[in-house]
Amino acid sequence: MAEAIKINSLSKTYENGLLALKNVNLSVEEGDFFALLGPNGAGKSTIIGILSTLVRKSAGNVTIFGKNVESHVYETKLELGVVPQEVNFSQFEKVGDIVMTQAGYYGLSRKLATSRAEKYLKKLGLWDKRNERSRSLSGGMKRRLMIARALVHEPRLLILDEPTAGVDIELRRSMWKFLSELNESGTTIILTTHYLEEAEQLCRNIAIIDGGRIVEHCSMKDLLAQLDSQTYVIELSQPMTEVIKFGPLVASAHVLDSLTLEITISSSVGMSSLFDLFKNLDLDVKDLRMKNNRLEQLFLTKLEKLEEGRLV
């Protein structure tokens, strides 16, 4: 398989002298669903900025589908759709116009642009809003609009910078479903996140970045195998009325109050099995979060190993 992205010895020093990326090497295969995971300030957005030529690298080499992003600016831009972290369209423009304008940037004919805008606004549940000004949209709708806009030229690679930061669980899950289907239909997807559970739910491969350095680059499966168990805090929409029997999937369960549960499961049990379990028990999950931060746990393990000199 071809490589969607290949990053070699990439470094970035911002004008103020801050070293944001330190000799980053990263590759993402075509068709992959890849997570770039790391805490705030780790360098994730800087990498995306360099891939989309919004940020100038200091050293190294970056290719998208085998083409250098600097010497083949136009070709690589055509392959790439980017959904930024912050809303960056005009609040006064109409929803449909925002997508059509983007199609214009990519040189799509009016006819093709119109049909693509319809296709993606419908897929993202925004078709009814097409004649409304974007400022009237909810936060979740604005994010979906940025996804529709990024897809209008049907890029082979979609990069999303923290797509679900601050988004409620219902919308998060519908976004996960949309992105999984898009990936299944052949689009390579890279997302940055600081939620390990999001990467776990969606991604096959992963890189962890911390302080501008890649500290892990492996499959999601291998990463999770490094952890034994995980405790989730689950909030229900309706109070529990009777004692719940969870069965063997759940190592332990504690009822905190009639709406809140703490559940510990083995790391080998995926989150989707957990969702299925609740569905089968007829319990509607309003929110689910990790009790302890597994990402931090992983960092600590990595850093310990680094200090021991077992990792380069």
CB of 72 vs ligand ADP, minimal distance in Å: 24
Is residue 14 within 8 Å of 20, Cβ to Cβ? yes
Cα distances from 208 to residues 12, 147, 183, 211, 244, in angstroms, run: 17, 24, 21, 10, 37
Is residue 169 within 8 Å of 288, Cβ to Cβ? yes
Cα distances from 229 to residues 110, 221, 225, 232, in angstroms, run: 53, 14, 10, 10
Q: Which is nearer to ligand ADP, 56 or 305 (CB)?
A: 56
Picking from 226, 297, 285, 227, the residue whose alpha carbon sits closest to that of residue 260 is 285
- Assess 16 for contact with ligand ADP (CB under 6 A): yes
- Which residue among 6, 33, 35, 45 contacts ligand ADP (CB under 6 A)? 45
CB of 308 vs ligand ADP, minimal distance in Å: 26
The interface with ligand ADP within residues 267-286 (CB under 6 A) comprises none
CB of 203 vs ligand ADP, minimal distance in Å: 17
- Assess 20 for contact with ligand ADP (CB under 6 A): yes
- Assess 241 for contact with ligand ADP (CB under 6 A): no
Helices within the chain (DSSP H only) = 44-51, 73-79, 95-105, 110-123, 139-151, 169-184, 196-202, 220-225, 271-280, 294-307
- Assess 105 for contact with ligand ADP (CB under 6 A): no
Q: Which is nearer to ligand ADP, 45 or 187 (CB)?
A: 45
Q: Which is nearer to ligand ADP, 116 or 143 (CB)?
A: 143
- CA–CA gap between residue 312 and residue 285 (Å, rounded): 42
- Show the binding pattern over residues 128-157: x = contacts ligand ADP (CB under 6 A), - = does not: ------------------------------
Q: On the CB side of 5, how many CA atoms lie within 13 Å of its CA?
A: 28
- Which residue among 2, 9, 18, 252 contacts ligand ADP (CB under 6 A)? 18
Q: Which is nearer to ligand ADP, 165 or 236 (CB)?
A: 165
Q: From edge to edge, which strands make up the β-sheet containing 80-83? A: 80-83, 157-161, 188-193, 33-37, 205-210, 213-219
- Which residue among 43, 96, 155, 163 contacts ligand ADP (CB under 6 A)? 43
- Assess 163 for contact with ligand ADP (CB under 6 A): no
Owner of token pair 């589908």:
65
CB of 52 vs ligand ADP, minimal distance in Å: 13
Rule CB under 6 A: which residues touch ligand ADP? 14, 16, 18, 20, 38, 40-46
